[in-house]
Structures are given as structure tokens and as C-alpha cells.
Structure 1
Amino acid sequence: MTSRFTELAVDCHDPEGLAAFWCEALGFEVIDRGEGKVEIGSWVPTVEEVRARQMPPTLLFVRVPEGRVVKNRLHLDISPVDAGTDEEVARLLALGATRTDVGQGPDRSWVVMADPEGNEFCVLRTLAPGG
């Protein structure tokens, strides 16, 4: 007997706003909405597909009253696929992300950023051809 990793839940103040940011960042679409929550993904999960094999998880943004207090213990790493890392960082900054320092030091091959609600994520090396 096994389980599947089906979604990653992110507590936030503004599920619609955060979902919009991550849809733009990742090329995802909204696949479900409910009271105080928005789910996004690169595909629309079906029970049959999830039971058959591990599929990419979705992101579920859930409204909570409290704010984030300390550094995230879990974060997303993303890799550009059609631009260089610097171009992707610039695009994400234009979408509302910020650069942030979590003690990573200056000589890293990745860039630490925060989404509009302050959740850290890393932009890794580009996977673009010739990158």
C-alpha cells in the first residue's frame, strides 16, 4: 500500500492573489476554487491518473488569519526552461517577487526570492538550451 503526493498546501492571506502570481510564474492554471482556497496545477487531476502513477502535485492556497513568522521549513525550487536565470529573476521581480536573504551567502548558483506574501523560493540554474 502506498500514498501519492497530490498537492502542496500553502497558508496565505490572499489565495486568489498568490495563485495568480504562481500561475504566471509556473505557467499553471486555476483548476479549482472554493471558499477561501484556490488550487492551481499543470494538469487537472483525475482519480484514475493519480492511482495509476505519481503525477506532478498541485498547489493549494488556503486563507488563514495568521501571518508567516519565521523562515519557511519547506520551499519550492524552480528552474527556468526558456530563459536564463537572470532573465527569469527579472520576470519574477516584475510579477511581484522580491529577492531575500536567508543566510545563503553571496557565492551561490541560485537566487533566493520571496513570493508576494513572503514565502521563500529558489530560482536554480536555467534548463534552457545553451543556458
Structure 2
Amino acid sequence: MTSRFTELSFDCHDPERLAAFWCEVFGFTVLDREEDSIEIGSWEPNVEDHRARQMPVTLVFVKVPEGKTVKNRLHLDVSPIDTSTKEEVDRLVALGARKVDVGQGPDRTWEVLADPEGNEFCVLRSLAPGEFEG
């Protein structure tokens, strides 16, 4: 018996705003909207596909009253696929992300950003043709 990783949930104050941000980051669409939550993803989830194989996860944003108080213990890593890491960081900052220092130090090959509600994530090396030296 096994389980499947199906959703990653974010507690937040403004599910609409955060879902819109991450839809722009990944090119996702809204899959489901309820009173205090929104699910976004790249495909319409169904039980048959999940049972057959590991499918891409969806992101769920759930409204909660409390704010974020400490550094995330879990974070997303993203890799640009058609631009440089610097260009992607610039794009994400223009969408509402901000650069943050979580103690990563100066000698790194990635950028640490925070989404509009302060959730840290990393922008890794570009996977664009000609950008990645593997």
C-alpha cells in the first residue's frame, strides 16, 4: 500500500491574492474555489490518474486568521524553463515577490524570495536551453 502526494496547502490571509500570484508563477489555473480556499494546478485532478501514477500536485490556499511568524520549514524550489534565473527573479519580484535573507550567505547559486504573504521559496538554476550547465 502507498499514498500519493496530491496537494500542497498554504495557510494565508488572502487566498485570492496568493492563488493569483502562484498561477502567474507556474501558469496554473484555478481548479476549485470555495468560501475560504482556492485550489490551483496544471491539470484537473481525478482519482483514476492519482491511483495509476504520481501526478503533479495542486496548490491549495486556505484562509486562516493567524499570520506567519517564523521561517518556513518547508518551501518550494522553482526552476525557470525559458529564461535565465536573474530574469525569472526579476519577473517574480514584479509580480509581488521580494528578495529575503534567511541566512543563505553570499556564495549561492540560487535566490531566496518570499511570496506576497512572506512564504519563502527558492529560484534555482535555469533549465532554459543554453542556460544549464549540468
TM-score by length of 2: 0.97
RMSD of the alignment, in Å?
0.4
Q: Which residue in 2 is equivalent to 1:34?
A: 34
1:53-77 superposed Cα distances (whole Å, 9 cap, x missing partner): 0001100000000000000000000
How many residues are treated as equivalent by the alignment? 131
What code does the residue aligned with 1:10 have?
F
Q: Which residue in 2 is equivalent to 1:54?
A: 54
Deviation at 1:96, TM superposition (A): 0.3
- State how far apart, in whole Å, the 1-side matches of 2:125 and 2:54 are: 25
Give runs of aligned pairs for residues 57-68 of structure 1, distance below 5 A. Answer: 57-68=57-68
- State how far apart, in whole Å, the 2-side matches of 1:77 and 1:44 are: 23
- State how far apart, in whole Å, the 1-side matches of 2:31 and 2:119 are: 22
Q: Which residue in 2 is equivalent to 1:109?
A: 109
Residue ranges of structure 2 left out of the alignment (5+ in a row): none
- State how far apart, in whole Å, the 1-side matches of 2:34 and 2:117 are: 20
Q: Which residue in 2 is equivalent to 1:127?
A: 127
Deviation at 1:78, TM superposition (A): 0.1
1:99 paired with 2:99, answer yes
Off by >3 Å, runs of 4+ in structure 1: none
- State how far apart, in whole Å, the 2-side matches of 1:27 and 1:81 are: 12
Query: What secondary structure sits across from 1:88 in the alignment?
Result: helix
Residue ranges of structure 1 left out of the alignment (5+ in a row): none
TM-score by length of 1: 0.99
Q: Which residue in 1 is equivalent to 2:13?
A: 13
1:15-44 superposed Cα distances (whole Å, 9 cap, x missing partner): 000000000011111100101000000111
What code does the residue aligned with 1:116 have?
P
Query: What secondary structure sits across from 1:40 in the alignment?
Result: strand
Aligned sequence identity (%): 73
Deviation at 1:118, TM superposition (A): 0.3
1:57-107 superposed Cα distances (whole Å, 9 cap, x missing partner): 100000000000000000000000000000000000000000000000011
Give runs of aligned pairs for residues 70-85 of structure 1, distance below 5 A. Answer: 70-85=70-85
